[in-house]
Amino acid sequence: MSTITDSAPTPSRSATAVILAAGRGTRMRSERPKVMHPLAGQPMLRYLLENAQQVFDRIVIVIGPGMDDVAAIAAPHAVVVQSDRLGTAHAALQAQAQFGTGDVAVLYGDNPLITAETMRELLACRRQPGVGLALLAMRPADPGRYGRVVTQGENVQRIVEWADATPQERRIDLCNAGVLCADAGDFRRWLNAVSNDNAQGEYYLGDVVTQAVSEGACVRAVVAAEDELRGINSRAELAVAEACVQTRLRHAAMDRGVTLIAPETVFLCADTDLAPDVVVHPHVVFGPGVKVERDVEIQSFSHLAQCIVRMGAQIGPYARLRPGSDVGARAHVGNFVELKATTLGEGAKANHLTYLGNARVGARTNIGAGTITCNYDGVFKHVTVIGEGCFIGSDTILVAPVTLGTGAMTAAGSVITGDVADNAMAFGRARQENRDGYAEEFRNRLKDAKERG
């Protein structure tokens, strides 16, 4: 086995990655292609593509019929279709016209967590003098049904699939990750020589190792971490991979200067952008498309998606920022406050029990508890504009479209249906009337009615 830490691919020799992504995800019990299942908010295939792009000159993705969504994720890379699913070696053969003349590595879309560093190690191992074929292997805590790597000294002799392995071979702890790398010409020849004489009647990519050894080629294994090489074939394995991705993302955030008070309770997306000196309290969830600037504090049980939070703002606890929201510098979004497609100006505050949808709130404006914008009429969304320095009284209902000018105020409990001028105060409620003794009279009437049944 080889462990390469300081070698790099030869610049003058091209390298092609072939990614097998035709799996239907049968064990997922899903109509969605396997590689489209998300990890940290993005399809698992995207992780492999992003890392492969750092290493390989050309990428080819093998998909199944009708997988237009996979082809869209793969763009602008070349895509070929495996019309008949006859095994992994057969899938790789569909891309042979795209191999070129350099080295070719075959990867799997459902092994999405292989790092660029490990891919470079694989290429470097293959390019060592005398090495004809390199593969990735691992020693998982539970070898399970992985194919086993049979070795003699440093050299790999063959790959045996679990279904075809003897009891002695199943006790081998070195497992095949399925990833192979060889010269393009050799790879074509070995792939075309693979047969389907096995328990499943399929053309296994692992049998390329047998072909290489039969020709006297030296085959070496690069051993990498299980967390990188684990396959995803079921919902349970998807959950394990999600945990691995979350651990990576949390550590990366903390390395950038983010404070995660209880990291294991914070869930990030692959594109979550947290600046240094952001503090995240326990049990916060970040959906896709979130950007948080410096010195922001996000308190527990808040949920953010497709929004931006500016420098020094305070979020939560129990806040929800929905798509299109923009929270200004030093603004406050408090407990049980929801924003949707809303801009909250610098220093503005919505601290309690409020819904603001399709709203533009000016700087230093205070939104009282229980305020809501009625932005949807059943067909259209309408905008509420609130100027700078306004004071919106508790339990105000703002029926959009409506505009409140700079410095405007609303009385608590008002329903505002018309525009409010600068520095004006709006009363949108019925005038209070007190009737002396009426409360006692009313209670007595109710008691009499109850007694009469």
Helices 44-52, 116-126: axis angle to 10 degrees equals 50
| Residue position matching structure tokens 């009284």 | 393
User: What CA–CA distance (Å, rounded) separates 354 from 352?
Assistant: 6
Residue 244 has what DSSP assignment? H
| Residue 82 annotated as lining a ligand binding site | yes
110 annotated as belonging to a binding site for a ligand: yes
> Rounded to 5 degrees, what angle do the CA atoms 365, 369, 371 make?
75
Note whether 329 and 347 are within 8 A (CB): yes
How far, in Å, are 101, 412, 425 from residue 420 at the CA level? Answer: 72, 15, 7
Give the residue from 208, 194, 199 showing the smallest Cα distance to 159.
Answer: 208
Residues 6+ apart with CB under 8 A from 37: 25, 28, 30, 43, 44, 232, 238
105 marked ligand binding residue: no
HSE of 228, CA atoms in CB hemisphere, 13 A: 20
Q: Which of 251, 281, 283, 352 is catalytic?
A: 352
109 marked as part of a ligand binding site: yes
> How many whole angstroms separate alpha carbon 313 and alpha carbon 296?
5
- Nearest partner of 130 among 14, 222, 11, 219, judged by Cα: 219
Active site residue 352: yes
The annotation status of 214 as a binding-site residue, yes or no, is no
The verdict on whether residue 369 carries a ligand-binding annotation is yes
Q: Is 50 annotated as a binding residue?
A: no
The three-class DSSP label of residue 446 is: helix
Answer for the pair 403, 409: CB distance below 8 angstroms, yes or no: no
- 318 annotated as belonging to a binding site for a ligand: no
Q: Where are the alpha helices (DSSP H) in 98-166?
A: 116-126
Alpha-carbon span 359 to 426, nearest angstrom: 18
The answer to the question of whether 198 is labelled as a binding residue is no
355 is in an annotated binding site: yes
The response to whether 351 counts as a known ligand-binding position is no
Distance CA 34, CA 3 (A): 31
CB atoms within 10 A of CB 261: 14
- Paired with 416 in beta bridges are 398
CB 401 within 8 A of CB 381: no
366 annotated as belonging to a binding site for a ligand: yes
- Residues 6 or more apart whose Cβ sits within 8 Å of residue 130: 218
340 is in an annotated binding site: yes
Binding site annotation covers 20? yes
- 161 in a labelled binding site: yes
User: Among the residues of 129-234, which ranges form H helices?
Assistant: 167-170, 184-193, 207-214, 226-229
**Residue 345 assigned ligand-binding role:** no
22 is in an annotated binding site: yes
Q: Is 192 annotated as a binding residue?
A: no
- Rounded to whole angstroms, the Cα distance separating 324 from 327 reads 10
23 is in an annotated binding site: yes
Cis peptide bond upstream of 401, omega within 30? yes
- Is 72 labelled a binding residue? no
3-state secondary structure of 27: helix
322 appears as a binding residue in the annotation: yes
- The annotated binding site for Mg(2+) is made up of 110, 233
Task: Give the residue numbers annotated as catalytic, written as ranges.
Answer: 352
Residues annotated within the binding site are 20-23, 34, 82, 87-88, 108-110, 147, 161, 176, 233, 322, 340, 355, 366, 369, 375-376, 394, 412, 429
Binding site feature residues for UDP-N-acetyl-alpha-D-glucosamine: 20-23, 34, 82, 87-88, 108-110, 147, 161, 176, 233, 322, 340, 355, 366
